Amino acid sequence: MLVAVAFGYLAWLKRQVNVAQREHDSMKPRFAGIEKQMNRWDPLGPAVEPKRHIVEVLQQLAKAWQGNDKLQFTSFTFSPKEWVMKGGATTDARFELVTRLKQNKELDLFDPSKESCTFESRRIAR
């Protein structure tokens, strides 16, 4: 009896999935135009989103830096989709900075899979 109820439940679930799939497929053409428009606007995002402006990114980097004397920045390269900061640092200072940058929600718009913060392996003269 329990097996029959289980098969009945699975059949009902399969039917529910099929109904939801048909509903999704019927709605897809309605949203195709919206998706097309979104894809057209994506390249303009860096120009119109304040969080992607170079000044805002530099402000967030300065907040993360917090005047740490163990960090020295030598160059900063910015593009609308990524930024690269180079410099020298001690291991613990670099770790602290990278941790603060990863926790910063303002920088979430940038692709986290790319290495956007690199440091040269030179020692800092004191």
Residues 102 and 61: their CA atoms lie apart, in Å, by: 11
Stated pTM of the model: 0.53
59's tokens: 């402000």
Structure-derived torsion over alpha carbons of residues 76, 78, 83, 89, reported in degrees to the nearest 10? 0
pLDDT tens digits along 38-79: 888 877 777 787 777 888 888 888 888 887 888 888 888 887
Most confident of 14-18, 59-63, 76-80, 110-114: 14-18
Q: What is the pLDDT of residue 44?
A: 79
Collapsing DSSP to helix, strand or coil, 49 comes out as: coil
pLDDT for 12 equals 96
Question: Is 50 exceeded by the pLDDT of residue 121?
Answer: no
Q: What is the pLDDT of residue 47?
A: 76
